[in-house]
Amino acid sequence: MPKLLHLACSPRADSESAAGAHVFVESFRKARPDWEIDPMNLWREPLPEFEGYLLEAKYARIGGKGFTNSQHDAFAVAERLALRLSLADRVLISTPMWNFSIPYKLKQWLDVIIQPGLTFRFDPAQGYLPLLKDRPTVVILASGSDFVTGMNRGRIDMATPYLREVLRFIGISDVRFLPIGPTTGPAEPIRAARDAAHRRLAEMAARF
C-alpha cells in the first residue's frame, strides 16, 4: 500500500500549520482512499538526543570503524526513523516558523536521520551523495508575518532555503512550499491568508 508520511512539527494542535495540514490530508484521502497516512508528531514521538553513543556511532562510521553494542543500539534508533521516511512515497511537512527558521524538534529529527551511510555518503571523487530516492514533498510553513515574497520588513525567511537544501542533500528535491501568513495581527489579513492557503492546499492535495 502506498504511503504518505506526515511530519507534524507544531506543539499546538490548533496551530495554523496543523489546520492547513488537516485540509491537505482530508483532500488527499478523498483523492487517494487506497493510500496509508502515516502521521508522525515530532512532539510526541521519542526522538533520541544527538549525543553519547549515537554521536560516537556517527564518528565511528566516518572513521570506518565497527560499532560497539551500545553504539549499534543507538544507531538503530536513527535507522528506524530514517526507514520511516524512506518507505514513504509522498511526504507532508507541516511546521511553524520559529525565529525565522524551524522548530528545534524538526531540526533534531533532521540531525538524527542525516547520518553517513544512512541518508548520504561521501565519495572522494564526487563529494557528498544522497542515498534516498526523490519523492514528491509538500512543506506547509506558517509564520506570524507574511513571508510569501521571502522577506518581511527586512526580515528573512531562513526556514525555506534551509529545508530545501537539507532535503536535497539526502535526495529529496521535488519539494513544494506553501506559506501561510500572516498568522498574527489584524483579523482580516489572517483570515484572507488562511482561506487562500487552504484553497491552494486542497487543490494541491487532489493532484499530489
Q: Which three cell numbers stand for residue 195?
A: 482561506
pLDDT at residue 147, as a whole number: 74
Q: Which three cell numbers stand for residue 59?
A: 564518528
Give me the domain span that covers residue 130. Answer: 3-207
Nearest-CA neighbor of 71 among 93, 87, 55, 86?
55
Determine the Cα–Cα distance for residues 96 and 40; give it in Å rounded to an integer: 15
Determine the Cα–Cα distance for residues 3 and 60; give it in Å rounded to an integer: 33
179 contacts: CB under 8 Å, gap ≥ 6: 141, 142, 143, 146, 147, 148, 157, 160, 197
pLDDT at residue 145, as a whole number: 84
Q: Which helix (H) or strand (E) holds 75?
A: helix 69-86
pLDDT at residue 146, as a whole number: 80
- Please answer whether residues 8 and 183 qualify as being in contact, where contact means their C-beta atoms are separated by less than 8 angstroms: no
pLDDT at residue 112 greater than cutoff 90: yes
Convert the pLDDT of each residue in 61-108 to its tens digit. 888 899 999 999 999 999 999 999 999 999 999 999 999 999 999 999
pLDDT at residue 122 greater than cutoff 60: yes
pLDDT at residue 149 greater than cutoff 80: no
**Total domain count for the chain?**
1
Q: What is the pTM of this model?
A: 0.94
CATH number, domain with residue 59: 3.40.50.360
Query: What does the DSSP assignment read for 84-136?
Result: HHHT-SEEEEEEE-BTTB--HHHHHHHHHH--BTTTEEEETTTEEEE-SPP--
